Amino acid sequence: MDTIVFLILRRMRAPLLVLIVTYALTVTGLALIPGVDAAGQPTPPLSLFHAFYVLSYTATTIGFGEIPYPFSDAQRLWMTLTIYASVIAWLYSIGTLIALLGDRAFQRAIVERRFARRVTRIASPFHLVCGYGETGQALVQALTDRHQRVVVIEWQEDRINLLQIESHREYVPALLADARSPSDLEAAGLRSRWCAGVVALTDDNRTNLKIAIAAKLLRPEIKVFCRADSHDTEANMASFGTDHIYDPFDSFAVYLATAIQAPCLVLLYAWLSGLRDATLDEPIYPPAQGLWVLCGYGRFGKAVYQRLKAQGMDLVVIEADPGRVGLPAEGGVAGRGTEAETLEQAGIQSAVGLVAGTDDDANNLSVLMTAKQLNPKLFLVARENRADNQELYQAVGAHIVMHPSRIVAERIRVRLGTPLLADLERYARYQDHDWACALISRIAALVEDRVPDVWELTIDAEQAGAVCDAGTQGAPVTLDTLLRDPSDRDIRLPALALLRIHKSDRTLLPEGRVVLRSGDRLLFCGTEAAKWRMQWALRNCHALDYVQTGGDGHYGTVLTWLGRRLGWHGERRR
């Protein structure tokens, strides 16, 4: 606000002074020069008021003529001067103003002001996303799809332009600024009480580090999420309390290891974290027995190697530049893996799976195509470095395609949107394949062929007022009660409780007879309709009374009395 006004005032100072002085001089002159009447007799000069009036219409080139009487020649001489002087003064002023409007600094001030106003107008929790690269794009899309507010800071203008032409369900204010500077972070609402978290997703580790430090220093209580591509940075970020650090390569290695060991677990997680209205994925079964060939031993290759080796799998590593990145202790094959010879040396004919994990998409695709020719039964895992190559990876027939940006975005989205789901994933990792398969078939029965809706519930006065009241009145509510349909308690809602957190106890798949206590946190999955129907019992004490006991609530003294008179009792209101 201030910047714009002050910019205008400062720039307009000189033109306005010129204008005032010109007016003052010309008005003075006009009010001193005598006029002449129709008979040629001299008349007194124009009054100051009339002089100002004449000047006002001449200077602005409106020109009514010689008012109130025809001028004397002396007056005309003065008017000639006046016209040139005043028109030039006006042109100068207006020219300066227009130049100011086109000025970059001025336009930037306007954009920043508009941005700041939009950020302050947000009246719901929002997340501050720094960096609008591929990860940022995917995260912003995912969050806005779930109707969460986001503010973006990005220092590349074309990416900001891209954001503005993309369609999001929520308006996303974006600022062209360097997220490393704390003042820009503040301008983007870091100090706002609605700011729920800062997400640092730039492709530069040091920038992410700087953002995390600034956010933790200025607002220690908010959550900070960071992307880190090296263990070094990760340790640095963790040292000052960054809440969640995501390493795409480690994340994928864990995913791949889980997919080999317990495919259902991966599928379960994919279903639960899927976007609304998506169809259910089919399970994939990577071979758990046999030799795997791993191409590329960089950050990605090392992470995958460690995880798979820990599971006792047979692995052969192919690396083009072993001198730079090294090879595992038991050795490997030197070569790019794009030619049949190297692959054969690694034993591709007898292998069951192949991971193409170099940082070059062309090489990865070439490895996949060559390997497929040599051994068509291979299970193919590919690392996709750029999102625009997605179609090529599909065409080549890769079974699992790993995209670093998307993995980080997905994990942060789940963490931000449904934190309990992220917890569930952590605890479920210790469950076995059969457990996950059983759960998957239960969910499939609930939701048919759509991705289940996943929602969290905290038993407190705001989200479950009726349940809290019932608890204090000595009629504690069980989980089973909540899962009954409030219009017919014999029907069960198509929903399932996945996780219950009671104080520090965590229960996976809590049983129906569990009594809900104030402060409990629950994670449900089911159809969207079930989610809304459940609200009745949570908030309305009559609905809760009905699902709990089957009894019909009374609606105040008068209706109770009327009901007794008219014999409504015993009937069930639907």
Partner 1 sequence: MNPEKVVFGFFIVLALTLNFGFFVGELDNPDHHNGWELFAVVVVNLIATVLKFGDRTQIGAVLLSTSLVAMLQLIAAVLVWVFAVHVTGGGLTPRTTASIVSLTGGAMIANVISVVLLVVETFMLRR
For partner 1, the binding residues in 95-154 under the rule CB under 8 A are: none
CB nearer to partner 1: pick between 28 and 156 = 28
Binding mask 200-229 for partner 1 (x = CB under 8 A): ------------------------------
CB of 43 to partner 1, least distance (A): 16
CB nearer to partner 1: pick between 31 and 196 = 31
CB of 72 to partner 1, least distance (A): 21
Residue 73 interacting with partner 1 (CB under 8 A): no
CB nearer to partner 1: pick between 48 and 278 = 48
CB nearer to partner 1: pick between 27 and 212 = 27
Longest CA–CA span in the chain (Å) reads 122
- Single-letter code of the amino acid located at 210: K
Specify burial of residue 116 (Cβ count, 10 A radius: 0-12, 13-18, 19+).
Answer: middle
In angstroms, what CA-CA distances link 511 with 479, 523, 538?
Answer: 7, 13, 18
Residue 61 region by backbone torsions, left for phi larger than 0, else alpha for psi between -120 and 50, else beta? left
CB of 187 to partner 1, least distance (A): 18
**Locus of tokens 């040396």:** 345
Say if CB 294 and CB 301 are below 8 A apart: yes
Say if CB 357 and CB 294 are below 8 A apart: yes
For partner 1, the binding residues in 370-389 under the rule CB under 8 A are: none
With both helix axes pointing from N to C terminus, report the angle between 404-417 and 248-261 in degrees, rounded to the nearest 10. 80
CB of 86 to partner 1, least distance (A): 15
Residue 150 CA to residue 121 CA, distance in Å, equals 13
CB of 177 to partner 1, least distance (A): 22
* 393's tokens: 């990876």
Q: Can you name the residues that pair with 156 across neighbouring β-strands? A: none
Examine residue 248 and say whether the peptide bond preceding it is cis (omega within 30 degrees of 0). no
Question: Shortest CA distance to 516 belongs to which of 573, 475, 564?
Answer: 475
CB of 41 to partner 1, least distance (A): 22
CB nearer to partner 1: pick between 6 and 84 = 6
Q: What is the CA radius of gyration of the chain?
A: 36
Which residue in the set 37, 42, 43, 49 belongs to the binding site for partner 1 (CB under 8 A)? 49
CB nearer to partner 1: pick between 8 and 541 = 8
DSSP string for residues in 553-572: PP--HHHHHHHHHHT-TTPP
Total of chain residues touching partner 1, rule CB under 8 A: 18
Beta strands in 411-547 (DSSP E): 453-458, 484-485, 488-492, 495-502, 505-508, 521-526
Say if CB 18 and CB 43 are below 8 A apart: no
Which residue in the set 6, 69, 84, 568 belongs to the binding site for partner 1 (CB under 8 A)? 6
Question: Shortest CA distance to 187 belongs to which of 153, 138, 225, 224?
Answer: 153
CB of 67 to partner 1, least distance (A): 13
* 304's tokens: 């995958």
CB nearer to partner 1: pick between 96 and 535 = 96
CB of 243 to partner 1, least distance (A): 39
CB nearer to partner 1: pick between 21 and 395 = 21
For partner 1, the binding residues in 441-470 under the rule CB under 8 A are: none
Residue 165 CA to residue 89 CA, distance in Å, equals 43
CB nearer to partner 1: pick between 48 and 98 = 48
CB of 28 to partner 1, least distance (A): 7
Question: Shortest CA distance to 316 belongs to which of 284, 282, 283, 342?
Answer: 342
CB of 222 to partner 1, least distance (A): 32
For partner 1, the binding residues in 308-327 under the rule CB under 8 A are: none
Question: Shortest CA distance to 307 belongs to which of 281, 325, 337, 328?
Answer: 328
CB nearer to partner 1: pick between 49 and 171 = 49
Binding mask 9-48 for partner 1 (x = CB under 8 A): xx-xx--xx--xx-xx--xx------------------xx
CB of 2 to partner 1, least distance (A): 7
CB nearer to partner 1: pick between 113 and 506 = 113
373 φ, ψ to 5°?
Answer: -65, -40
Binding footprint of partner 1 on the chain (CB under 8 A): 2, 6, 9-10, 12-13, 16-17, 20-21, 23-24, 27-28, 47-50
